[in-house]
Structure 1
Amino acid sequence: MIRSNSFIIALVVTFSCAALHAAPFVPARDPNVVAIAPSGNVVATGCSGMSDGSFPPRPHPDVRKCAVVAIWDVATGKRLARMETFGDFTQLAFSPDGTLLAAARLFATADGVPMNEVRIWDATTGRVVKVLDRCHAFCFAPAGNRLAVVSRSKCVVYDKTDWSKEHLIPPLGGCVSVSFLNDGSALLGVVRETKAEQPDQYFIRKCDLETGKQLQQSQPLANAFYRLALAPDNASLATGHDGGNVLVWDLATLAPQLRLQTSIKGWAHPFFSPDGKYLAGGCQDNGDVVLWDLNTTKEAGRFSFDKWNARTFYTRTAEETFRPEKDPQRFVFHPDSSAYLVGGSGGVLRLIDGGRELKRFGD
């Protein structure tokens, strides 16, 4: 009996010690970035995550903590590919022909060494095609033949067929994000300017793609914004801001025309429907999505989510230019404009008409 009690006590102590040293509970993560292939048959999700703490860093050995990009079949919900990495995702996008998937992630080591990258995979196999180190933003050209990437000092356009560097776009070097015009003739960048004893200023800069020369620049705003959404008709663009604000700009003059309000605190992420019917504002704080009719600018729909775990892993100061926790690409319309994909509840594809869920993605 004494031996039996001793055994039980030892067992309790063993389990108590194990519990003390075990990894803490890690809740299910929602994607920080989402994308839909041009066919509409495949989607991708990206969950930010941690490194293993070594140098050079590797994905965290716990699959619940490392960063993961996954590709999913829409019809079946089956996962087709899974790629592990580390850091905070800011962008995820398929190439216009659907053959490639690219992601931008930010990461810095414990002693502050930046290791940002843009990574491109084969969208059918998950095989790495290209890694562009020290880059934090990208955009595929509409024709699919080029890729623009941005580092802290440069903006470079690559030929996607052989990854030869085509040329630099000097006025957009170090910009926060970059976007091709829908006709592929020019690049737009969100530029942050910091001067001593002055508040930060953010503005839009347009550059000719072939010559690299600056064509236009918008008026500066003290209100921060991090990316652009271009309307399908190439007539306007939208930017998202804190306090639920969405600004609509005239693309020809780069002048703000209209302010829309989600009435939800937090950062508003703008995205246009491909058919040009709607402009949507996704709330980065809780996942709510507000639709506005582009013809009338009146609110046309509002959708809410009951579960939302939108977190990043590496806190950045307000002085840093690149803040992925503010406005990652967590919302995107389906190519046929009938639904949208949002990074809530593991990734949800939801119909515009009636708001019914079509599919949830996640393990």
Structure 2
Amino acid sequence: MPRWFRSRTARAVACALLFSASQTASAQPEKKPQGNKTESAAEAPAKGVSFIIDVAPVLKENCFACHDAKKKSGKYDMTTYEKIRAGGVNGDPVVPGKPDLSEFHALIVTTEQRRMPPRDKGEAVPKDKAAIVAQWIKEGAKLDAGLDPKADLVKELRVRWKPPVPPKAYPFAIIVNAITFTPDNKHLVVGGHHELTVWDIATGKLATRIYTRAERAYGLAFFPDGKLAVAGGRPGQEGDVRVYDINAKGKSEDGVTILDGVNDKAVLIKHLFDVEDSVLCLAVTPDGKTLAAGGCDRAVRVFDLSEGLDKAKLTQTVENHADWVLGCALSADGKFLLTAGRDKTAKVWDVKGKESVVTFPEHQNIVYGVAVKADGSAGFSVGADKQLRTWKPNGEGKQVKNAGGHGDDVFKIVANPKQPLLATSSADKTVRLWNMDTLAAGKSLAGLTDYVYTVAFSPDGELVAGGSYDGGIAVWKVKDGALVKAFNASPGFATKEPEPKKK
């Protein structure tokens, strides 16, 4: 995984657990005491077990990794009900009504060596989950009415999954993976946890919350009409690109506008596509007629929006990288698509000709981000080698120049829309400005206290903002590097003041 996914794993897991706990507590009514009765986690659930609601999630969590359509361990594919019942080398492993005689159940509860999942692959299926499987078999191992036996279970589970409502106050600081300025240069849109948040730059106050299906946003881009395209997803679960009207009408809570970007069609105005893992990058041409988005499936999807969002057309799916696509950029005319990959290369795709034209391998390490000069005459890339490199996006793709300056991995690069400037963000906790033509280093902008994962210029080119791992946001003036505003983009999160130094 790229460093920005793998770093501080323990803290990220702890944060997820805190969020889960806070959401569960707020969503569940308090249970009334039932005398001295204590519920056992291993008790079989009541009658009426649903295969898709109750059983399939257990299989996805414990079985699909080895028994998907590709691996088929033991020649057993478990990705549809039909294939589950067809079985592997030993045939149907289910004896309806008799879990004790069903290999399907026996292998997940056995204490012997031949256990599923295998001992070297993970922990045993929890007892309460195994009890659900047993009850389902006892009730006849039936498929839910209306569900096609050939239906892909991963997709069916994804469709049925319901996102949680973000807590009113975050119990921890959110990781900021994506930011963008609103078209009027007055607000910042920030990716949150199952939401987008909009902040007033002048005051640093929260103005709007837009609830989303995606757990995280990785790419944000406004169309000329003010609608917002968002690339994101749930890591390892699903990814998507959706378009929102962040100026739609919503309810007000404590002076903050709340928009339902999950169910309200006035807010969520277009769902372009979804895939089985996160979409990590997004690019839109200045005229809004072409959109490109790529991610963990190694593919970049290119859409023609020239006839409007309602008639969006997927024109091509570009599979030009051997690993995750971490960044993408489009030339202003939409002719060239530049991409950054975990495969240690930057690449150029001719969108019109539908062919690969350049591979740039000079980073020799993960390439996190790319940018392109407005006229398409120069490409720029940054990565884990701590370097900013410029090269010709046509011909042989030879490097023109490289520049150092950051002290750690460089995650993001963006071009100023009005001036020949670039901005980069880094794990060294800074944002840096560069001359686009010479790669001469400009100001190094301080004020953030953790890895700076993302950076953006305002539409008028006069401001630049960075967002960091610990939820920090800083906005500076491009002209002199003066700090305009700094705040934490975690709604309701109480930041701690640094302790005074001991004398």
TM-score by shorter chain over 0.5 = yes
Q: Match for residue 167 of structure 1?
A: 315
- RMSD across aligned positions (CA): 3.2
Distance (whole Å) between structure 2 residues aligned to residue 26 and residue 284 of structure 1: 24
Q: Match for residue 11 of structure 2?
A: none
Q: Match for residue 18 of structure 1?
A: none
Distance (whole Å) between structure 1 residues aligned to residue 485 and residue 338 of structure 2: 34
Unmatched tracts of structure 1, length 5 or more: 1-21, 48-65, 193-199, 311-327
Q: Match for residue 230 of structure 1?
A: 372
Q: Is the 8 A contact 2:217 2:230 kept in 1?
A: yes
Answering whether residue 407 of structure 2 is matched by residue 264 of structure 1, we say yes
CA change 1:129–1:168 in 2 (3 A) is: same
Distance (whole Å) between structure 1 residues aligned to residue 336 and residue 375 of structure 2: 15
Distance (whole Å) between structure 1 residues aligned to residue 451 and residue 439 of structure 2: 30
CA change 1:275–1:129 in 2 (3 A) is: same
SS of the equivalent of 1:292 reads strand
Q: Is the 8 A contact 1:206 1:216 kept in 2?
A: yes
Which amino acid in structure 1 is aligned with residue 481 of structure 2?
Answer: G
Q: Match for residue 209 of structure 2?
A: 82
**Which of the numbers 347, 362, 386 marks the counterpart of 1:244?**
386
Deviation at 1:223, TM superposition (A): 1.6
SS of the equivalent of 1:144 reads coil
Answering whether residue 479 of structure 2 is matched by residue 353 of structure 1, we say yes
Distance (whole Å) between structure 1 residues aligned to residue 175 and residue 319 of structure 2: 36
Distance (whole Å) between structure 2 residues aligned to residue 261 and residue 299 of structure 1: 9
Cα shift readout 1:13-65 (whole Å, capped 9, x = no counterpart) = xxxxxxxxx86x94333522110134323321113xxxxxxxxxxxxxxxxxx
TM-score w.r.t. length of structure 1? 0.69
Deviation at 1:142, TM superposition (A): 2.3
Deviation at 1:101, TM superposition (A): 1.3
Distance (whole Å) between structure 1 residues aligned to residue 232 and residue 456 of structure 2: 18
Q: How do 1:137-216 residues align onto structure 2 when only pairs under 5 Å count?
A: 137-150=281-294, 152=297, 153=299, 155-159=301-305, 160-172=308-320, 176=325, 177-190=327-340, 200-209=343-352, 211-216=353-358
Which amino acid in structure 2 is aligned with residue 141 of structure 1?
Answer: T
Distance (whole Å) between structure 2 residues aligned to residue 257 and residue 163 of structure 1: 40
Distance (whole Å) between structure 2 residues aligned to residue 249 and residue 206 of structure 1: 14
Distance (whole Å) between structure 2 residues aligned to residue 138 and residue 243 of structure 1: 23
Which amino acid in structure 2 is aligned with residue 130 of structure 1?
Answer: K
**Which of the numbers 82, 94, 98 marks the counterpart of 2:222?**
94
Q: Match for residue 275 of structure 1?
A: 418
CA change 1:336–1:166 in 2 (3 A) is: same
Pick 1 or 2: higher relative contact order, CA cutoff 8 A, min separation 6: 1
CA change 1:36–1:293 in 2 (3 A) is: same
Which amino acid in structure 1 is aligned with residue 376 of structure 2?
Answer: N
Q: Is the 8 A contact 1:180 1:186 kept in 2?
A: yes
SS of the equivalent of 1:347 reads strand
CA change 1:184–1:243 in 2 (3 A) is: closer
Greater fraction of residues in strand: 1
Cα shift readout 1:61-87 (whole Å, capped 9, x = no counterpart) = xxxxx3331123445555442123453
Q: Match for residue 56 of structure 1?
A: none
**Which of the numbers 248, 266, 274 marks the counterpart of 1:133?**
274
Distance (whole Å) between structure 2 residues aligned to residue 231 and residue 37 of structure 1: 22
CA change 1:354–1:155 in 2 (3 A) is: closer
Deviation at 1:201, TM superposition (A): 4.6
Deviation at 1:306, TM superposition (A): 4.7
Distance (whole Å) between structure 2 residues aligned to residue 340 and residue 120 of structure 1: 24
Which amino acid in structure 1 is aligned with residue 462 of structure 2?
Answer: S
Q: Is the 8 A contact 1:180 1:188 kept in 2?
A: yes
Distance (whole Å) between structure 2 residues aligned to residue 83 and residue 290 of structure 1: 30
Which amino acid in structure 2 is aligned with residue 336 of structure 1?
Answer: D
SS of the equivalent of 1:162 reads helix
Deviation at 1:158, TM superposition (A): 3.8
Q: Is the 8 A contact 2:346 2:370 kept in 1?
A: no
Which amino acid in structure 1 is aligned with residue 336 of structure 2?
Answer: A
CA change 1:231–1:39 in 2 (3 A) is: farther
Distance (whole Å) between structure 2 residues aligned to residue 138 and residue 292 of structure 1: 22
Distance (whole Å) between structure 2 residues aligned to residue 164 and residue 298 of structure 1: 40
Distance (whole Å) between structure 2 residues aligned to residue 166 and residue 116 of structure 1: 16
CA change 1:309–1:268 in 2 (3 A) is: closer
Cα shift readout 1:269-303 (whole Å, capped 9, x = no counterpart) = 222222333223211352x1222334543322112
Q: How many residue pairs end up in the alignment?
A: 292
CA change 1:250–1:101 in 2 (3 A) is: same
Unmatched tracts of structure 2, length 5 or more: 1-20, 23-169, 249-258, 260-266, 492-503
Distance (whole Å) between structure 2 residues aligned to residue 271 and residue 208 of structure 1: 21
Q: Is the 8 A contact 1:208 1:215 kept in 2?
A: no
**Which of the numbers 235, 242, 246 marks the counterpart of 1:123?**
246
Deviation at 1:215, TM superposition (A): 3.9
Q: Is the 8 A contact 2:392 2:400 kept in 1?
A: yes
Cα shift readout 1:79-134 (whole Å, capped 9, x = no counterpart) = 44212345343212222x152112222424xxx5x311222211312511222211
Deviation at 1:341, TM superposition (A): 1.1
CA change 1:133–1:233 in 2 (3 A) is: same
Q: Match for residue 457 of structure 2?
A: 333
Q: Is the 8 A contact 1:171 1:212 kept in 2?
A: no
Q: Match for residue 131 of structure 2?
A: none
Answering whether residue 215 of structure 2 is matched by residue 71 of structure 1, we say no
Which amino acid in structure 1 is aligned with residue 400 of structure 2?
Answer: Q
Deviates further, 133-142 or 115-124: 133-142
TM-score w.r.t. length of structure 2? 0.51
Which amino acid in structure 2 is aligned with residue 304 of structure 1?
Answer: A
Q: Match for residue 19 of structure 1?
A: none
SS of the equivalent of 1:331 reads strand
Structure 1 vs Structure 2: percent identity of aligned residues?
21
Q: How do 1:29-68 residues align onto structure 2 when only pairs under 5 Å count?
A: 29=174, 31-47=176-192, 66-68=193-195
